[in-house]
Amino acid sequence: MMEVSIWFALAAGALSFFSPCVFPLLPAYVSHLTGGQARDGHMKVERSVVLLRSFGFIAGFSLIFILMGASASFLGEMFSEYRIYIEQIAGILIIVFGLQMMGWLSFSFLLKDTRSFKTKKKGTAWGSILLGMAFASGWSPCVGLTLSSILLLASASSTLTQGVLLLIVYSIGLAVPFLLISLMITKTFTVMKTINRILPGLSKINGALMIILGFLCLVGRCSKSALIFPFLVSFQHRGRV
* 162-214 confidence digits (pLDDT tens): 889 999 999 999 999 999 999 999 999 999 999 999 988 988 898 898 898 88
Judge whether 119 lies within some domain.
no
- 217 confidence band (pLDDT: 50, 70, 90): confident
Is residue 3 within 8 A of residue 233, CB to CB? The reply is yes
Q: Is the dihedral of CA 116, 120, 123, 127 positive or negative?
A: negative
Judge whether 201 lies within some domain.
yes
Total domains in the chain come to 1
> What is the average per-residue pLDDT within 140-146?
69
Judge whether 113 lies within some domain.
no
The residue range of the domain holding 128 is 1-38+46-106+124-237
Question: DSSP assignment of 212-232, as one string?
Answer: HHHHHHHTT-TTGGGGG-HHH
Judge whether 114 lies within some domain.
no
Judge whether 22 lies within some domain.
yes
pTM of the model: 0.81
Judge whether 111 lies within some domain.
no
Q: Is the pLDDT of residue 143 over 60?
A: yes
* 41-92 confidence digits (pLDDT tens): 899 999 999 999 999 999 999 999 999 999 998 988 888 888 788 888 888 9
Number of helices and strands (H, E) in the chain?
10, 2
Q: What are phi and psi of 42, to 5 degrees?
A: -160, 170
Burial 118-135 (b: 16+ CB within 10 A, else e): eeeeebeeebbbebbbbb
Is residue 101 within 8 A of residue 206, CB to CB? The reply is yes
Distance in angstroms (rounded) separating the CA atoms of residues 232 and 129: 32
Coil, helix or strand for 18?
coil
Judge whether 4 lies within some domain.
yes
Q: What is the pLDDT of residue 14?
A: 93
Q: Give the H/E segment covering residue 42.
A: strand 42-44
Is residue 57 within 8 A of residue 145, CB to CB? The reply is no
Judge whether 115 lies within some domain.
no
HEC assignment per residue over 64-84:
HHHHHHHHHHHHHHHCHHHHH
